[in-house]
Structure formats: structure tokens, C-alpha cells
Chain A
Amino acid sequence: MISSSSAGAGAGGNSISGKQPRSGSTHQAQTKWRTGAQERIYNRRLIEALRAVRGARAVKDAADSALALTARGQSRWSRAILVGRLRRRKLLVKAGGKIRRRRRSRLPVKPAEPAALKEGKVGERLRALGRLVPGCRKLSAPSLLEEAADYVAALELQVKAMRALADALSAAAPPPEGSPAAPDG
């Protein structure tokens, strides 16, 4: 999935994408999201995405999409986000060649998804976690945990970037519209 997604993703070699062995995926996820390069990439993408957005929901979607993009489609949740955006946009459905290809390549790599993978409290928690992480509803425990780790790292990055951006914007530019937002910068 990584290789396919990388091929599909194409440009942007800043991230630690590439053929990474599944075995070290967890460590890679950790290193991948911890690097400042990833942060910068995401920051840039976030800014660009936010430029043309209006509305809180759009902002969130834009941020999520930017985050998913930064993931370079290497994780299931990022692909799920992107695909969701595509569908919503409709326009990308037919043109989503690359994304579609990515998805198709991912299909064969279907993870073992026993519906009732684990019973009991652990199983409950796992299912709840699957609902939280986009695109990971039915996933086996190890892959779900992997995706969750990647997602958590990405979320942390997102929160950090958005917070910095919000603070910078609210502090840098005095609100000309007198919006009550960002009192604390």
C-alpha cells in the first residue's frame, strides 16, 4: 500500500514516504510525523487550503484534507479522508484516477477484518476506536492500532499547526471586521 500510494501520490518527496516495510510501520509512523519537515509541509498545505475556504466546517475539512495529503496516502485513514472529499466534490470522482488507482491497489491488500475480532471490553474499545479513525471501522486489531497511532500523530500535528496559525493570524492582523474571534490570540 505504501508503494502504491507513493506512486500514486507522486510529488512531494519531503515526507518520509517510499517503500517502507510493514513491519516497521509503527516506528515509521512515529518518525514520519515527528519530523519538522512533515510539519512544515502540512503547514504550507494548510495555509493554502484555508485560503479559499469559508466557514468553519470547510476549514476543518480543508485541514483534514491537507493532513491526509501530507500523509501521502500511506495510511488508511488518510485515504479514507481523501476519498470522502473526492466524493463530496463529485468532480474528482471521475477524475480521481490516481486516487482511485490508489484505492484499487489498496483493495487487494485488504486487511483481515474479522467483525468480532475481539470480544469483551477490549473488543468494544477497538470497535469504538475504529469508528473514530476514519476509514478504519472494520480493521483487524493490529492494523487498527497501527492506523490509530498514525492518526494520533497526525492529529497532534494538525492541532499544533492550526493552533499556531490561529494564534498568528489573530495576533498578527488586527481584526478589521471586528470579529470577536481570537481574543487570546
Chain B
Amino acid sequence: MEKERFFSSPAMNWQRAEATGAVEMNCGGGEEFPAFLNINWDQSVEQSTTAQLESALSSIVSSPSSSLPTPVAAESVVIRELIGRLGSICNSGEISPPSHLNTSNCNNTPLNSPPKLNLSMAEGRGGVPIPGGLFPPANFAPFATDPGFAERAARYSCFSGRNYGALPGSQFGIPETGKLSRVPSSQSLKVDVSPLEMDARSKLTGRVSGPPTPMETELKSSQEASSASGESNSRKRKAAPKGKGKESPLSSKAAEEEDGSAKRCKLGESNGSTEKDGDVKLKAEQNGGGDATSNGNDGQKQGNDSNAKPPEPPKDYIHVRARRGQATDSHSLAERVRREKISERMKFLQDLVPGCNKVTGKAVMLDEIINYVQSLQRQVEFLSMKLATVNPRLDFSMENFITKDMHQSRVPLPHSVYPIDGVPAAFSYPYQPQQEAHLQSVVTTNALEAHCSMNPLDSGLRRSLSMQLPPSDGFPDAASQLCNFWEDDLQSVVQMGFTQNQEDAFSSQSFHGSLATTPHMKLEL
């Protein structure tokens, strides 16, 4: 969702910045602020130039210009607000985001940190943790106002799964020694910038120095959590800016450099360095978030996708997560879902059809399946022919079993069941026997009828009966009605309990007619 968009755009931006030394912030992706931070952090590690960080930060700062996302994620909203504020802050050197950040959860923390950093950037960008050294001390004044910056950073890290606090803290620690309690850790970050950079790539997999490690772990955990792709996105973004922030203090370059880098970042956005960025991010993502798959990958994918187009990629629905190396636009996603469905069904068929395991490829497998279905159908035909010849025997053999039961229960039935022969047949075909008991009785009657060698009459009666048989509810209904009629006509036949069905759609007239014949038949007999 939004987070994912954050991912893609900022991820790409950061990566580009990495390559080009200019952090590209998804200016259009204000929502991606956290992502920017993540990306920055990640990339910052890799980037060895503070300029990159600066540019990343600037890009992040610029991102606030992007429209605020729906209040789906408080973080994003807060972030955007912060970004906006940062922009203003940077320009005016005022920082007042902390209030926002404080109100929100840890997500806010990143905002806090970035704004402060942005201030240093002196650009109207989102809150990118800009190293204090890079910017005029005035910019860091706001930081001073945020005593709990480190805490927020920590919270931010939890939001993004990264210990951003360490990163921003480091930055702030430099300019404001007494401000951040976590400064030491952050300072260590600064020291470890270079190793951090190196570790950036492996941070997910390996462990960098203390401060980075928590970030890495958080990053990994966040990646793996995959609770929201946006988170990972934001994580990446945050990482990027954070990394940049770290670097900046080290270099303590002039703001102009950062600005320049920021500008370069913007330029870099359009550059084709996305590949590297994407790769970096992907590596980071994959290393740390192999499980994240979709989330991280989505971010990556989006990043890659958005590389081509600076605006965040349109991700309508997030039900499907793109995987690495796959397009992420909605069309391809839907296509992929469709293909997965089909392949899943094909696999199922493969298990069903014998001998399909070795076959690979849809066409060949479909061939096998078709052959198998045809062979099955042919077998059915052959067996039906065979059964047809054996059918008389069926009647006779079954009758023996049934007549016994019949005699036990109903003696008069044999006389009255003759005409029923067709009924069960007709019923059984289209109807689902609602009452097995009735079915049984009908069957028995049917058997008896056959036994009486009423076949010609039976068939005729059957046809007539079937013609008049209406109900789809089940042949029991018709049979019951027939039975009832017989009872009325002849004697009380065993009630099969079909009386209630008499009201069914059966046309009793037809039955009457058929019944009329039965007595005649009986009489004839």
C-alpha cells in the first residue's frame, strides 16, 4: 500500500543516490518518508559520502511535498506531516515536529529524527536525519528541543524495524552532545560509518558494530515481519537517510554540498542508477528478509518499477505480493495470480492423472490429461456395454435378495408393484433420492416386478410413468404417489411415506392414468 509505495520510490531513490551520490527521494512519495529513511539508512551504509546522505536527506525532505496518504497508517500521516513541517523547518530553521512524533507511535520517531536532520539539510524535504555537522548549528536547535530524540529514534526503529535512533542519535550527538542520551551509540555509528557502509550490505545477514546491529536486526525483523510492506519500505527509506545522516556528520561537509547532493539526488532519480539501488536494496531486503519476500520484494519491486517512473508505482491492492524480479504493476500482479491459480490446478491434475509426474509443461500435461479422460470415458462405455449384457442377471440376482425382504415386510406388494418398475428407474435418473428408504422400497418393488416378467408391460408402463413423472425432488415422491394410488386402487400398499409428496408438482392426473393401467394389468395377470 502506501508503505509499499514508499518502498519503491524511496528505495529506488536511495539506491540511485548511492550510485550517483545523490539520494533521490521520492519527492512525490511523501508517504514514503519512512521508507526513505530506511533506504537512506541502507544506502548510507553503502555510501561513503556524506553527500549521498545529504542528498538522500534532501530527497526525503522533499518528499513531504507529496500528498499525504490516507490516514490508514498513522505513521505515514505523521510522517508526511513531519515532512511538511520539516520542509518548513528546514527553510525556517524551526523544528516543531516533535509534537507530532510524540503523539504517534514509534513511527513518529523517525519523523522526528528526519525533521531534525532535514533542518540541517536546509531543504524543504522530509525528515531525513541529516547530520548536525552538515548543517548549521541553528538547524540542530530543534534537536535540542527534542530531548527524547534518541528515544524517538529508537521508537522509530521499532516502527521500521531499525534502530534508527542510533543513527539519528549519532548525528545529533555530534552537534548536540548533551542532547541525546543515545548519542554515544550514535556516535559509535558515526565511527562505524565506514564499516557500517560495508556492513550495510551484510547488515541484514551479518552483524555490524553495536549500533548498526540493532538496526540491522530490526531491519531484518521488520523485513521478516512483513506486517506491512510499507514498513519495510519505510525502513529502507529510513535506513537510507539515516545512513546518510551518519555520513554527513563524519564528513561535516558544508550544507551546500548536501544541497548539491540533494540536487544531484533529484537528478539521479531520473538516472538509470536504479539498478544498483534496486540491487542494493534487494540484497539488503533479501538478506535480511528472505521471508519478507513479498513485502520486501514488493518494495524492491516497486522501487525498481518506480525507477523507471519517479512517481510511486500504483499498487491498487496488496493482496498479491510481487516477488523479486517480477513486475509489480497491477496488471502483472493479476496475471501472476491467474497463472498461479492455473498452475495450482494443473498440479492437482497431475496428481490425479497417473503418469503425469514426469511430464513437464502445460501442453504436454494437458495432452496426457485429455488422453486419460478419453480413455476413462471409453472404459465407461465398454463397461456399460458389458453391463448391459449382464443386466438381466442383475435383475434376477438382485431380485432374489430383494424378494426376501419384500416377502418379509409386505406380502401384497408383489401384486401391486408391477407397474412400479418404471417408476424407480425414471426417478433414479434425474432425481436425487431424498429418502433412501423409499428408494429401497421402490427398488424392491421394481425387482419384484421384473421377477414377474412384466417386462413388456413394465417398459410401457415405465415410459408412461416416466413421462408423467415430474418432480425433480426425487423419485420417491413419484413412487410414493404411485404407491398411494395403487393402494387406493387395489389394497393398502405399504405406505412409503410419500404421502406428503403428493402435493408436489406431480400431476396426479397422469398418475391416475398410469394407475388405471396397472389395475388392468393386474387383472390381466
User: Measured between C-beta atoms, what is the minimum distance from A1 to chain B in Å?
Assistant: 16
Q: Is B384 an interface residue (CB 8 A)?
A: yes
Convert B349-386 into 0s and 1s, putting 1 for each residue whose CB lies closer than 8 angstroms to a CB of A: 10111000000001100110110111011011101111
B450 interface residue, CB < 8 Å from A?
Answer: yes
Instruction: List the B side residues contacting A10 at CB < 8 Å.
Output: 432, 434, 473-474
Q: Which of A10, A27, A145 has the most CB of B within 10 A?
A: A145
Which residue of B346, B397, B459, B473 is within 8 Å of A172 (Cβ)? B397
Contact B394 A155 (CB under 8 A): no
A residues less than 8 Å from B338 (CB atoms): 142
User: B residues within 8 A CB of A59?
Assistant: 384-385, 387-388, 391
Cβ contact within 8 Å between A142 and B373: no
**Which of A90, A120, A151, A162 is the one whose CB lies under 8 Å from B384?**
A162
Q: Are B422 and A132 in contact (CB under 8 A)?
A: no
User: B411 on the interface (CB 8 Å rule)?
Assistant: no
**Smallest CB gap from B351: residue in A:** A30
Contacts of B349 in A (CB 8 A): 145, 148-149, 152
The answer to whether A142 touches B342, judged by C-beta atoms less than 8 angstroms apart, is: yes
Q: Is the interface of A mostly helix, strand, loop or mixed?
A: helix
Contact status B383-A11, CB under 8 Å: no
B467 in contact with A30 (CB, 8 Å): no
Q: How far is the CA of A181 from the CA of B341 in the complex (A)?
A: 46
User: Is A26 touching B348 in the complex (CB atoms < 8 A)?
Assistant: yes
Interface string of A26-37 (1 = CB under 8 A from B): 110010000000
Q: Name the residue on A nearest B458 (C-beta).
A: A52
Question: Contact partner of A51 among B344, B353, B425, B459, CB < 8 A?
Answer: B425
B345 within 8 Å of A (CB atoms):
yes
Contacts of B367 in A (CB 8 A): 125
- A60's nearest neighbour on chain B, judged by CB, is B384
Rounded to whole angstroms, the CA-CA distance of A172 and B342 in the bound complex is 46
Q: Is there a chain A Cβ closer than 8 Å to B308's Cβ?
A: no
Q: Which residues does chain A contribute within 8 Å of B362, judged by CB atoms?
A: 122, 125
Q: In angstroms, how far is the closest chain A Cβ from the Cβ of B483? A: 16
Is there contact, CB below 8 Å, between B472 and A92? yes
If the complex has contacts A12-B433, A96-B430, A170-B393, are A152 and B387 also in contact, measured as CB distance less than 8 A? no
Interface assignment of B389: CB less than 8 Å from any CB of chain A = yes
Is residue B89 within 8 Å, beta carbon to beta carbon, of the partner chain? no
Interface residues of B in 385-442 (CB under 8 A from A): 385-398, 421-422, 424-426, 428-436, 439
Report yes or no: A92 in contact with B434, Cβ–Cβ below 8 A.
no
Cβ-defined partner of A155 (8 Å) among B351, B380, B393, B428: B380
Chain B proximity mask over A46-60: 1 for CB below 8 Å, otherwise 0 = 011111111111111
Chain A residues with CB under 8 Å of B372's CB are 152
Choose from B344, B373, B421 the contact partner of A52 (Cβ within 8 Å): B421
Measured between C-beta atoms, what is the minimum distance from B408 to chain A in Å?
A: 20
Residues of B within 8 A of A39 (CB): none
With contacts A141-B342, A179-B390 taken as known, whether A51 is within 8 angstroms of B395 at the C-beta atoms is yes
Contacts of A129 in B (CB 8 A): 366, 369-370, 373
A100, B458: Cα distance in complex, Å = 29
A151 contacts B389, CB within 8 Å? no
Are A175 and B469 touching (Cβ within 8 A)?
no
Among B376, B394, B397, B398: residue with most chain A CB under 10 A: B394
Size class of A's contact patch?
35 or more
> Which A40-82 residues sit within 8 Å CB-CB of chain B?
45, 47-66, 69, 72, 82
Those of B462-511 within 8 Å (CB) of chain A: 462, 466-474, 505-506
Q: Nearest-CB distance from B460 to chain A (Å)?
A: 12
| Cβ contacts A140-178/B at 8 Å (1 or 0 each) | 011001101101110110110011011001101101110
Assembled-state Cα–Cα distance A90/B425 (Å): 15
A128 at the interface (CB under 8 A from B): yes
Residues B341 and A142 in contact, CB atoms below 8 Å apart: yes
Q: From the candidates B342, B432, B471, B473, name the one contacting A69 in the complex (CB within 8 A).
A: B432
How far is it, in angstroms, between the C-alpha of A63 and the C-alpha of B377 when the chains are bound? 11
Contacting pair A128 B370 (CB below 8 A): yes
Indicate if the CB atoms of A49 and B472 lie closer than 8 Å.
no
Q: Chain A residues with Cβ under 8 A from B435's Cβ? A: 11
A85 within 8 A of B: yes
User: Closest residue of chain A to B395, judged by CB?
Assistant: A51
Q: Does A110 contact B (CB under 8 A)?
A: no
B443 in the interface, Cβ–Cβ < 8 Å?
yes
B496 → A minimal CB distance (Å):
14
User: What 1/0 flags go to B330-341 for Cβ under 8 Å of A?
Assistant: 000000001001
**Given known A-B contacts A92-B470, A166-B383, A152 and B373 have beta carbons under 8 A apart:** yes
The chain B residue with its CB closest to the CB of A181 is B389
Contact among B344, B363, B424, B470 with A26 in the assembled complex (CB-CB below 8 Å): B344
User: Contact: B389 with A182, CB < 8 Å?
Assistant: yes
Residue of A nearest to B423 (CB): A52
Question: Do residues B387 and A165 form an inter-chain contact, with CB atoms below 8 A?
Answer: yes
Q: Give the CA-CA distance A132 to B348 in the complex, in Å.
A: 18
Decide if B446 is an interface residue (CB 8 Å cutoff): yes
Which single residue of chain B is at the shortest CB-CB distance from A142?
B341
Q: Does chain A have a CB within 8 A of B82?
A: no
Cα separation A97 to B383 with both chains bound (whole Å): 32
Kindly state whether residue B447 has any CB partner on chain A within 8 Å. yes
Contact of A152 with B353 at beta-carbon distance under 8 Å, contacts A26-B344, A51-B425, A60-B384 already known: yes
The minimal Cβ–Cβ distance linking A34 to chain B, given in whole angstroms, is: 10
Chain A residue contacts of B422, Cβ below 8 A? 52
**Can you pick out 6 interface pairs between chain A and chain B where the beta carbons lie within 8 Å of each other?**
A62-B428, A91-B426, A91-B466, A155-B380, A158-B380, A159-B376
Instruction: Please give the residue numbers on chain B whose beta carbons come within 8 Å of chain A beta carbons, in ascending order.
Output: 338, 341-342, 344-346, 348-349, 351-353, 362-363, 366-367, 369-370, 372-374, 376-377, 379-381, 383-398, 421-422, 424-426, 428-436, 439, 443, 446-447, 450, 458-459, 462, 466-474, 505-506
Q: Apart from A12-B433, A149-B349, what 10 extra A-B contacts exist at CB < 8 Å?
A: A48-B443, A53-B391, A56-B387, A82-B430, A92-B472, A99-B430, A128-B366, A153-B352, A166-B387, A179-B389
A-B pairs, top 3 by smallest CB distance, nearest first, are: A52-B425, A95-B470, A181-B389
